[in-house]
Amino acid sequence: MPRPTQATIDFSALAHNLAVVRQYAPRSRIMAVIKADAYGHGLLHAANALKTVDGFALLELDAAICLRDAGYRQPILLLEGFFSTQELGLLEQYQLSTVIHHSEQVAMLLESKQRVDLFLKINTGMNRLGLAPEQFHKVMSMFKGNRCANTITLMTHFACADDPSEKESVIQQLQYFEMATQGYNYPRSLANSAAIIRYPETHADWVRPGIMLYGISPFPDQTASDLNLRPVMTLSSRIIAIQNLKCGDKVGYHGLFQADRAMRIGIVACGYADGYPRHAPTNTPVLVNNQHTRLLGRVSMDMLAVDLTDIENAELNSPVILWGKEITVDEIAHRAGTIGYELLCAVAPRVEKVCF
């Protein structure tokens, strides 16, 4: 039998979350962000559930080609663009769109004479990727009358849209973008998940939902449930061993948990090599037989321990939910000192993905 650790992907939850995006941005086209193997949910699984969107955005050229080969005809945008002139031929062949964010990409494109759909990214304050305004104007003049720019869309990315105390930062970036692009009548793409929800003035022609599609809140002060988002992934496993402890017995590496009474514990077939966070501490919530219990001691590479003392009918092969609807991935991430994004993306290839 296969190892029992599974990541169950709920297509209906993905479709529901897409409908929520449409409620927030009814007049914008939707470019679903499915980078990093759709945030760990499986590229083709997610694309199938999101097949009614207007476009897809990701990073990896091979993943974009995979989508084309699977029959997806929507625009597919490479968010970091291309890295060599050799890739430009594939962009034209597969009709892939590319972000342009530095002058070297412009030079490669002009030299290659390929015809590509372009998203020109302007750095409005995040200082990660993007053309400075003076570079942007120069690039636009270079593309004027040049056939390599099949279509042009203007874009930027907000650094602090998820922080409720940074509204002024979002407004400043938006104003900076509007000033830089004044006089250019091209489609625009600005809003990520956080901006889609909180800043309708940023919606423009294209919105780029990412984490909200997978049922995770982009905000520290609001839960997914507050936003009517449903978790898409459930990480589950089973009890593969049971130990009976005496008062004073220790559990796991370095004995980080010590029993203060007689206890019954279960060993679960899931560890940090599966994507469960190693730094999750004792008392991190777990479900066994749909009953709430807790993690005990240090998470190992392949296993972790849970408290079965008060769990009715717990036995070998009892089902275990590590995150999902009852216990959100954000709660586990918070306990482990990280964010839900990281946990979703860290689910290991050896974890079987089951879709329904």
Q: 19-44: per-residue pLDDT in tens? A: 999 999 999 999 999 999 999 999 99
Instruction: Give the span between the Cα atoms of 307 and 98, in whole angstroms.
Output: 50
Angle between helices 133-143 and 103-112 (to 10 degrees): 10
Total-model pTM = 0.95
pLDDT band at 145 (very low <50, low <70, confident <90, very high): confident
250 is catalytic: no
Q: Check 24, 35, 39, 121 and give the catalytic one.
A: 35
Tell me phi and psi for residue 203, to 5 degrees. -65, -45
Q: What gap in Å lies between CA 336 and CA 177, rounded to an integer?
A: 37
Q: How far apart are CA 210 and CA 217, in angstroms?
A: 10
Which two three-digit tokens encode residue 309? 């003392």
Q: How many CB atoms lie within 10 A of CB 162?
A: 21
Active site residue 176: no
- Report the percentage of the chain scoring pLDDT > 70: 100
Enumerate domains of the chain plus CATH numbers: 11-216 (3.20.20.10), 233-355 (2.40.37.10)
Tell me the mean pLDDT in the region 50-70: 98
Dump pLDDT digits (tens) for 251-297: 999 999 999 999 999 999 999 999 999 999 999 999 999 999 999 99
- Sign of the Cα torsion 144, 148, 151, 155 reads negative
Residue with tokens 């970091």, as numbered in its chain: 80
Q: Residue 29 has which token pair?
A: 């086209």
> What is the chain's mean pLDDT, rounded?
96
pLDDT given for residue 2 in this prediction? 86
User: DSSP of 96-111, one letter per residue?
Assistant: -EEEE-SHHHHHHHHH
**CB neighbours (10 Å) of residue 10?**
21
Q: How far is Cα of residue 238 from the mean position of the Cα atoms in its chain?
A: 26
DSSP 3-state assignment of 119? strand
Phi, psi of 152 (to 5 degrees): -130, 130
The string of pLDDT tens digits covering residues 335-354 is 999 999 999 999 999 999 99
pLDDT at 127: 95
- pLDDT above 80: residue 1: no
Q: What is the pLDDT of residue 271?
A: 98
pLDDT band at 147 (very low <50, low <70, confident <90, very high): confident
Provide the pairing of β-strand 285-288 with 263-268: unpaired
In angstroms, the CA 156 to CA 153 distance is: 10
Q: Residue 287 has what pLDDT?
A: 98
For the cut 90, the answer to whether the pLDDT of residue 130 exceeds it is yes
> How confident is the model at residue 144, as a pLDDT?
82
pLDDT digits over 208-256, tens only?
Answer: 999 999 999 999 999 999 999 999 999 999 999 999 999 999 999 999 9
The single residue of 113, 167, 184, 253 carrying the catalytic annotation is 253
User: At residue 186, does pLDDT exceed 80?
Assistant: yes
As a whole-number percent, the residues of the chain with pLDDT over 90 amount to: 94
Q: How far is CA 66 from CA 50, 61, 338, in A?
A: 15, 9, 31
